[in-house]
């Protein structure tokens, strides 16, 4: 356990729980925060892949991570179309990294490329389907749940900071009880999904054609 692990763990736990349980109603507010979290991991992961540096072991990787964090947070705040597509891309990227980690290819250029392809595929799905309400419920509930459980694993010292190189779905591979963490994330995501579902049954999700905070009633103008 290290100070870096505790700080990143608390960040992942807080953002993950917020996204899992209030991702739909507070979508506009939470998007930049999610953008910051994912941007940091993406930037650090890119440095590791392109320059062979250990994950977050150099000052440069931390700086690049923060640069991407601020960039994605700003874009998510300023451009709604980017923000919505970005949610799909970030979850696809994490899923791609996680899959490669479980296949034993968690590091390297191949894992990075597979993650980028997965990110593009899920982002395209969000665009084509125009982000129906239940798709964003699934994305926020399970995406936030995996991030939150990863945060707990970091805080408890079950996985090292370097495990984040495999994303929030693949970090558990570093622990001998990896199946338990996955089960916990799936249970938390399912509970969060139904919690959000009960809260937003009468709400409409904002579309590209009509910019409206998704927390507003469907009858609002």
Name the least confident of 109-113, 146-150, 179-183, 209-213.
Answer: 209-213
Tell me: pLDDT of 86 over 80: yes
DSSP per-residue string spanning 25-66: TTHHHHHHHHHHHHHHHHHHHHHHHHH---TT-SHHHHHHHH
Residue 113 to residues 50, 69, 118, 127: CA-CA distances in angstroms? 11, 20, 9, 21
**111 neighbors 100 (Cβ within 8 angstroms):** yes
pLDDT of residue 212: 43
List all residues 6 or more positions away from 78 whose beta carbon is below 8 Å from its beta carbon: none
User: pLDDT-derived band of residue 175, with 50, 70 and 90 as boundaries?
Assistant: confident
What average pLDDT does range 39-44 have in this prediction? Answer: 86
pTM for this entry: 0.77
**111 neighbors 134 (Cβ within 8 angstroms):** no
Name the least confident of 49-58, 96-105, 133-142.
Answer: 49-58
pLDDT of residue 207: 47
Question: Helix, strand, coil % (nearest 5) of the chain?
Answer: 75, 0, 25
Radius of gyration of the chain (CA): 17
What average pLDDT does range 120-140 have in this prediction? Answer: 81
pLDDT of residue 74: 86
Tell me: pLDDT of 210 over 60: no
Better-predicted residue by pLDDT, 181 or 82: 181
- Distance, CA of 148 to chain centre: 10
Domain edges within the chain: 3-199
Of 179, 208, 193, which is closest to residue 142 (Cα–Cα)?
Answer: 193
């Amino acid at each position: 356990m290290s100070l870096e692990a505790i700080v990143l763990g608390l960040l992942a736990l807080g953002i993950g729980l917020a996204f899992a349980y209030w991702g739909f109603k507070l979508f506009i507010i939470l998007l930049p925060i999610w953008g910051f979290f994912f941007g940091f991991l993406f930037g650090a992961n890119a440095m590791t892949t392109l320059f062979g540096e250990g994950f977050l072991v150099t000052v440069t990787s931390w700086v690049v991570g923060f640069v991407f964090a601020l960039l994605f947070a700003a874009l998510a705040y300023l451009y709604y179309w980017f923000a919505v597509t970005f949610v799909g891309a970030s979850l696809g990227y994490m899923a791609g990294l996680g899959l490669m980690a479980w296949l034993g290819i968690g590091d390297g250029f191949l894992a990075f490329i597979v993650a980028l392809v997965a990110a593009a595929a899920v982002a395209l799905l969000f665009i084509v389907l125009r982000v129906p309400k239940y798709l964003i419920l699934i994305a926020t509930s399970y995406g936030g749940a995996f991030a939150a459980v990863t945060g707990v694993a970091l805080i408890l010292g079950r996985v090292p900071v370097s495990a984040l190189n495999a994303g929030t779905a693949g970090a558990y591979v570093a622990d001998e009880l990896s199946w338990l963490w996955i089960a916990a994330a799936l249970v938390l995501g399912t509970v969060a999904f139904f919690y959000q579902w009960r809260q937003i049954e009468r709400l409409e999700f904002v579309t590209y054609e009509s910019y409206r905070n998704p927390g507003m009633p469907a009858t609002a103008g």
